[in-house]
Amino acid sequence: MKTLILLIFINLSLFSNNIKKDVPLVSNDLYINECGACHFAYFPGLLPQNSWEKLMSDLENHFGDDATIDKKTFQTLSKFLKENSAEKNMNYKRSRKIVQSIPKNKIYIAISKTPYIHKKHKEIKKHLITQKEVKGLFNCTACHQGAKKAIFNDDDVDIPNYGKWED
Protein backbone atom coordinates (compact mmCIF):
# COMPACT_ATOMS: atom_id res chain seq x y z
CA MET A 1 0.00 0.00 0.00
CA LYS A 2 2.75 2.42 0.99
CA THR A 3 4.62 1.66 -2.22
CA LEU A 4 1.47 2.25 -4.21
CA ILE A 5 0.91 5.65 -2.60
CA LEU A 6 4.54 6.50 -3.19
CA LEU A 7 4.26 5.47 -6.82
CA ILE A 8 1.16 7.59 -7.31
CA PHE A 9 2.92 10.50 -5.68
CA ILE A 10 5.96 10.18 -7.90
CA ASN A 11 3.73 9.96 -10.93
CA LEU A 12 1.80 13.06 -9.97
CA SER A 13 4.91 15.12 -9.41
CA LEU A 14 6.40 13.95 -12.69
CA PHE A 15 3.19 14.90 -14.39
CA SER A 16 3.09 18.39 -12.89
CA ASN A 17 6.70 19.00 -13.95
CA ASN A 18 5.71 18.07 -17.43
CA ILE A 19 3.14 20.82 -17.78
CA LYS A 20 5.45 22.95 -19.76
CA LYS A 21 4.84 26.62 -20.36
CA ASP A 22 4.48 27.69 -23.99
CA VAL A 23 7.20 30.31 -23.60
CA PRO A 24 9.46 30.99 -20.58
CA LEU A 25 7.60 32.63 -17.70
CA VAL A 26 10.00 35.48 -16.99
CA SER A 27 9.41 39.00 -15.83
CA ASN A 28 10.72 41.91 -13.85
CA ASP A 29 8.97 44.85 -12.23
CA LEU A 30 10.61 47.44 -14.45
CA TYR A 31 9.45 45.61 -17.56
CA ILE A 32 5.89 45.28 -16.27
CA ASN A 33 5.77 48.97 -15.34
CA GLU A 34 7.19 50.25 -18.62
CA CYS A 35 6.02 47.72 -21.16
CA GLY A 36 2.83 46.58 -19.47
CA ALA A 37 1.28 50.03 -19.15
CA CYS A 38 -0.62 50.05 -22.45
CA HIS A 39 -0.92 46.31 -23.08
CA PHE A 40 0.01 42.95 -21.61
CA ALA A 41 3.78 42.79 -20.91
CA TYR A 42 4.63 40.35 -23.72
CA PHE A 43 7.05 37.61 -22.74
CA PRO A 44 10.46 38.05 -24.39
CA GLY A 45 10.22 34.43 -25.61
CA LEU A 46 7.50 35.49 -28.07
CA LEU A 47 9.97 37.17 -30.45
CA PRO A 48 13.58 36.63 -31.53
CA GLN A 49 16.34 39.01 -30.48
CA ASN A 50 16.53 40.94 -33.76
CA SER A 51 12.81 41.74 -33.47
CA TRP A 52 13.23 43.15 -29.97
CA GLU A 53 16.24 45.18 -31.09
CA LYS A 54 14.30 46.68 -33.98
CA LEU A 55 11.29 47.44 -31.78
CA MET A 56 13.44 49.01 -29.06
CA SER A 57 15.32 51.12 -31.62
CA ASP A 58 12.21 53.17 -32.41
CA LEU A 59 10.13 53.52 -29.25
CA GLU A 60 9.30 57.06 -30.23
CA ASN A 61 7.16 55.74 -33.07
CA HIS A 62 5.79 52.67 -31.34
CA PHE A 63 2.70 51.59 -33.29
CA GLY A 64 1.52 55.19 -33.35
CA ASP A 65 2.38 55.80 -29.69
CA ASP A 66 5.38 57.35 -27.98
CA ALA A 67 6.83 54.72 -25.64
CA THR A 68 10.23 56.30 -25.03
CA ILE A 69 12.07 55.51 -21.80
CA ASP A 70 15.20 56.90 -20.18
CA LYS A 71 18.61 55.56 -21.12
CA LYS A 72 19.17 53.44 -18.03
CA THR A 73 15.75 51.82 -18.29
CA PHE A 74 16.38 51.24 -21.99
CA GLN A 75 19.63 49.39 -21.26
CA THR A 76 18.10 47.24 -18.53
CA LEU A 77 15.07 46.29 -20.62
CA SER A 78 17.09 45.65 -23.77
CA LYS A 79 19.30 43.26 -21.81
CA PHE A 80 16.27 41.52 -20.30
CA LEU A 81 14.66 41.06 -23.75
CA LYS A 82 17.89 39.87 -25.33
CA GLU A 83 18.69 37.33 -22.63
CA ASN A 84 15.22 35.80 -22.73
CA SER A 85 14.40 36.06 -26.44
CA ALA A 86 12.79 33.24 -28.41
CA GLU A 87 15.86 31.76 -30.07
CA LYS A 88 17.48 31.28 -26.65
CA ASN A 89 14.50 29.12 -25.69
CA MET A 90 14.07 26.68 -28.53
CA ASN A 91 13.06 23.94 -26.05
CA TYR A 92 9.82 25.87 -25.50
CA LYS A 93 7.28 24.93 -28.14
CA ARG A 94 5.88 28.34 -29.06
CA SER A 95 9.23 30.14 -28.97
CA ARG A 96 10.60 27.52 -31.34
CA LYS A 97 7.61 27.63 -33.69
CA ILE A 98 7.69 31.42 -33.87
CA VAL A 99 11.42 31.48 -34.69
CA GLN A 100 11.11 28.69 -37.26
CA SER A 101 8.22 30.42 -39.03
CA ILE A 102 10.14 33.64 -39.73
CA PRO A 103 11.95 33.79 -43.10
CA LYS A 104 15.66 34.67 -42.81
CA ASN A 105 15.35 38.09 -44.44
CA LYS A 106 12.33 39.23 -42.39
CA ILE A 107 12.12 40.99 -39.03
CA TYR A 108 8.71 41.26 -37.40
CA ILE A 109 8.12 43.61 -34.50
CA ALA A 110 4.54 42.44 -33.94
CA ILE A 111 4.15 38.97 -32.44
CA SER A 112 0.70 38.74 -34.01
CA LYS A 113 2.20 39.27 -37.50
CA THR A 114 4.77 36.47 -37.31
CA PRO A 115 3.73 33.69 -39.71
CA TYR A 116 3.17 31.14 -36.93
CA ILE A 117 0.97 33.34 -34.73
CA HIS A 118 -0.82 34.82 -37.74
CA LYS A 119 -1.65 31.36 -39.07
CA LYS A 120 -2.88 30.11 -35.70
CA HIS A 121 -5.59 32.79 -35.67
CA LYS A 122 -6.81 32.46 -39.24
CA GLU A 123 -9.99 30.63 -38.33
CA ILE A 124 -11.33 33.25 -35.92
CA LYS A 125 -14.10 35.43 -37.36
CA LYS A 126 -12.84 38.96 -37.90
CA HIS A 127 -15.56 40.72 -35.89
CA LEU A 128 -14.55 38.70 -32.80
CA ILE A 129 -11.04 40.14 -33.07
CA THR A 130 -11.99 43.74 -33.86
CA GLN A 131 -14.84 43.97 -31.30
CA LYS A 132 -14.28 46.58 -28.60
CA GLU A 133 -13.71 43.99 -25.85
CA VAL A 134 -10.67 42.71 -27.77
CA LYS A 135 -9.60 45.48 -30.22
CA GLY A 136 -7.00 43.43 -32.03
CA LEU A 137 -4.86 40.33 -32.05
CA PHE A 138 -2.20 42.21 -30.05
CA ASN A 139 -4.49 41.86 -27.00
CA CYS A 140 -3.54 38.25 -26.11
CA THR A 141 -4.98 38.44 -22.58
CA ALA A 142 -8.49 39.23 -23.86
CA CYS A 143 -8.85 35.66 -25.16
CA HIS A 144 -6.06 33.55 -23.66
CA GLN A 145 -7.03 33.03 -20.02
CA GLY A 146 -3.58 31.69 -19.17
CA ALA A 147 -1.55 34.31 -21.08
CA LYS A 148 -0.09 35.92 -17.96
CA LYS A 149 1.13 32.48 -16.88
CA ALA A 150 2.72 31.97 -20.31
CA ILE A 151 0.05 29.46 -21.35
CA PHE A 152 -1.32 29.95 -24.86
CA ASN A 153 -2.88 26.55 -25.42
CA ASP A 154 -6.12 26.61 -27.42
CA ASP A 155 -7.90 24.73 -24.58
CA ASP A 156 -7.54 27.86 -22.48
CA VAL A 157 -9.14 30.29 -24.92
CA ASP A 158 -12.32 32.15 -24.02
CA ILE A 159 -13.29 34.84 -26.55
CA PRO A 160 -15.52 37.69 -25.29
CA ASN A 161 -19.10 37.40 -26.66
CA TYR A 162 -18.29 33.98 -28.07
CA GLY A 163 -16.98 31.76 -25.28
CA LYS A 164 -14.74 28.74 -25.15
CA TRP A 165 -12.96 27.81 -28.34
CA GLU A 166 -13.76 24.27 -29.51
CA ASP A 167 -11.59 22.79 -32.21
Residues near ligand HEC (CB under 6 A) = 22, 34-35, 37-39, 42, 46, 55, 59, 62-65, 67, 77, 94, 110-112, 117, 120-121, 123-124, 128-129, 134, 136-140, 142-144, 152-154, 157, 159, 165, 167
Tell me how far, at minimum, the Cβ of 62 lies from ligand HEC, in Å.
5
Tell me how far, at minimum, the Cβ of 22 lies from ligand HEC, in Å.
6
Nearer to ligand HEC, 22 or 86 (CB): 22
Tell me how far, at minimum, the Cβ of 102 lies from ligand HEC, in Å.
13
CA distance 6 to 85: 39
Query: Cβ of 31: how many Cβ atoms within 10 Å?
Result: 20
Burial class (CB in 10 A: 0-12, 13-18, 19+), 131: middle
Nearer to ligand HEC, 15 or 66 (CB): 66
Tell me how far, at minimum, the Cβ of 117 lies from ligand HEC, in Å.
6
List Cβ<8 Å contacts ≥24 apart for 1-7. none
The whole-angstrom distance between residue 26's C-alpha and the CA centroid of its chain comes to 11
**Greatest pairwise CA separation for the chain in angstroms:** 65
